[in-house]
């Protein structure tokens, strides 16, 4: 059983996911920061608040009083922390010349720059790299860890960087369109784990059940 076998099974079952759900590349970045420690449905409510208040640009976010911004972000949870993190990111983003200038950097350079921003960890940085800058990096999140540890391909406690490099190295020989593949694969993992490979999984109807020896506790 290879990572490509699992991808093929997920894709055959669910089809293309058309991720990331956002109207602009900057909105992708905002969503990547707000989705930390919360469900995407809550992020959508917070982004809707920003859109309603005409506050979905880096400049407007920086200029908004932190207390006001926190109120708009309240649905996403940890709203005071996220308001600070989002404004930190926006100040950095503006200072770096926004998307056009940042996109001139190599992927390793851009990743390191993103990780230098207070509040941006590896998963958030890779979400931004993959979905906003269309760079071939594989995102490792809690859904990925849950699914592939149950499939006995990884250990739950493996460190982020080792897993990211492992997935990228295993999948890059599959084809030249790495970014598209990584994008689709991550989206399929999220969809599948939300529907079937939950904390209390629905194993009997899972499209991966023939690959998996995990049984519901």
126, 137 contact by CB (below 8 A): yes
In this structure, which CATH number among 2.60.40.790, 3.40.50.300, 1.10.340.30, 1.10.10.10 belongs to the domain 25-131? 1.10.340.30
State the Cα–Cα distance between residues 10 and 7, nearest whole angstrom.
5
Please, which pLDDT band fits residue 124 given cuts at 50, 70 and 90? very high
| Ranges of each domain in the chain | 3-17+139-205, 25-131
From residue 184, give the alpha-carbon distance in Å to each of 49, 61, 81, 166, 190: 28, 30, 30, 17, 10
Q: For 84-120, what is each residue's pLDDT tens digit?
A: 999 999 999 999 999 999 999 999 999 999 999 999 9
Cα 162 to the chain's mean position, in Å? 17
pTM (global) more than 0.85: yes
Residue 85: cis peptide before it, omega within 30 degrees of 0: no
Q: For 133-180, what is each residue's pLDDT tens digit?
A: 999 999 999 999 999 999 999 987 899 999 999 999 999 876 557 899
**Per-chain mean pLDDT for the chain:** 94
């Amino acid at each position: 059983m290879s990572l490509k076998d699992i991808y093929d099974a997920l894709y055959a079952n669910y089809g293309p996911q058309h991720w990331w759900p956002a109207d602009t590349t900057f909105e992708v970045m905002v969503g990547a920061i707000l989705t930390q420690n919360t469900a995407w449905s809550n992020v959508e409510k917070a982004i809707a608040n920003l859109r309603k208040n005409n506050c979905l640009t880096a400049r407007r976010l920086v200029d908004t009083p932190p207390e006001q911004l926190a109120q708009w972000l309240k649905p996403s949870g940890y709203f005071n922390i996220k308001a600070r993190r989002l404004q930190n990111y926006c100040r950095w983003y503006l200072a770096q010349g926004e998307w056009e200038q940042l996109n001139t950097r190599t992927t390793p350079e851009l990743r390191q720059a993103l990780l230098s921003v207070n509040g941006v960890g590896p998963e958030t940085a890779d979400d931004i790299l993959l979905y906003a800058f269309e760079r071939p990096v594989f995102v490792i999140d809690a859904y990925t860890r849950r699914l592939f540890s149950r499939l006995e391909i990884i250990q739950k406690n493996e460190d982020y960087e080792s897993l990211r490099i492992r997935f990228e190295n295993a999948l890059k020989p599959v084809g030249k369109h790495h970014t598209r593949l990584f994008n689709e694969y991550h989206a399929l993992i999220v969809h599948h784990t939300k529907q079937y490979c939950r904390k209390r999984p629905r194993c009997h109807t899972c499209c991966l059940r023939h690959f998996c020896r995990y049984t519901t506790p």
